Amino acid sequence: MEKPGVICVRHECLNNIFCFSMPPACPACGELLAGRRLREAPVSIPDPLGNGHKTTCCLLVIMTLLSFRGFDGTSELHTGISNTSGVVYNYTGRGILRDQSGWRACVIVPLVRPDTFHLLAQWDQYLERFSRRPLWDPTWHRYVHDTHNCLTFCVEFVNSVLAAEGLGRGPLSRDVLTRTLIAPAVSRACKYVALRRHIQHQRFYVAQRRPTTAT
């Protein structure tokens, strides 16, 4: 059974009401909401967590032990790369895994524009060839939790694609990839999960907004 989506009602009392279904009255001011103006109609808030197996050429972030729906901001994360069929390549202590399940609730970071047809056509070949390098074979290299891990695999793969495509960019570091791509996406997901939890316990969340000033 799918969980209800979060909606937002922008009420004229300068409060945004986040909830799963339209309340009969504004929880902030008590005014009835039935039959309100179109501008106060509820707006759906997109869920930042999605099914990684329905993605193409994306960097995926998921929790290692528990469902991402229980992410608390301190949980350990695991990263992988999806091919054009939604198979997720990820590096573990056992080497490279090619998962066809298990990545249903994860943060999705697109890596390729839909109109980059040449790269899309080469992506699976790049990914499979890169995954077969001795660098990811536990017989030759040991998985090191902090320095040679799943994120190392993702960073090095992105850099190998940049080099193969001759895009003329320098290699990305772990810090740059984390700061520019992963951290913002995970932060949005954490806020959404926290919002859902609050609504589940309190039925709604009220956020005051600033009044707009006429120019």
Q: Are residues 145 and 165 in the same domain?
A: yes
- Any domain includes 105: yes
How much is the pLDDT for 41? 77
- Any domain includes 182: no
Q: Are residues 62 and 81 in the same domain?
A: yes
How much is the pLDDT for 65? 46
Tokens found for residue 23? 């309340």
Q: Are residues 67 and 29 in the same domain?
A: no
- The domain of 124 spans 49-172
Rounded CA-CA distance 170/162 in Å is: 8
pLDDT category at 40 given cuts 50, 70, 90 is low
Q: Are residues 59 and 130 in the same domain?
A: yes
Q: Are residues 64 and 134 in the same domain?
A: yes
Q: Is the pLDDT of residue 169 over 90?
A: no
Given phi > 0 = left and psi -120 to 50 = alpha, else beta, which region is 73? left
Q: Are residues 163 and 92 in the same domain?
A: yes
Rounded CA-CA distance 118/28 in Å is: 53
Longest dimension (CA), the chain: 68
pLDDT in tens, 100-146: 999 988 999 999 988 888 999 999 999 999 999 999 999 999 999 88
Q: How many domains is the chain built from?
A: 2
- Any domain includes 188: no
Mean per-residue pLDDT, 151-173:
86
- Any domain includes 177: no
Mean per-residue pLDDT, 22-31:
87
Would you list the DSSP string of 97-140?
EEESSS-SSEEEEE-S-TT-HHHHHHHHHHHHHHHTSGGG-TTT
How much is the pLDDT for 39? 63
Given phi > 0 = left and psi -120 to 50 = alpha, else beta, which region is 59? beta
Average pLDDT score over the chain: 87
How much is the pLDDT for 66? 45
pLDDT in tens, 72-102: 544 578 999 999 999 999 999 999 999 999 9
- Any domain includes 66: yes
Q: Are residues 140 and 62 in the same domain?
A: yes
- Any domain includes 101: yes
- Any domain includes 213: no
pLDDT category at 159 given cuts 50, 70, 90 is very high
Per the CB < 8 A criterion, the answer to whether 20 and 199 are in contact is: yes
DSSP state of 66: S
Q: Are residues 123 and 141 in the same domain?
A: yes
pLDDT in tens, 178-188: 899 998 898 88
Q: Are residues 32 and 62 in the same domain?
A: no
Q: Is the pLDDT of residue 33 over 90?
A: no
Rounded CA-CA distance 145/78 in Å is: 11
Q: Is the pLDDT of residue 1 over 60?
A: no
CA distance readout (Å), 155 to 22, 50, 98, 141, 188: 43, 22, 17, 17, 21
Q: Are residues 58 and 31 in the same domain?
A: no
- Any domain includes 30: yes
Given phi > 0 = left and psi -120 to 50 = alpha, else beta, which region is 166? left
Q: Are residues 168 and 144 in the same domain?
A: yes
Number of other CB atoms surrounding residue 67 within 10 Å: 12
Q: Are residues 117 and 202 in the same domain?
A: no
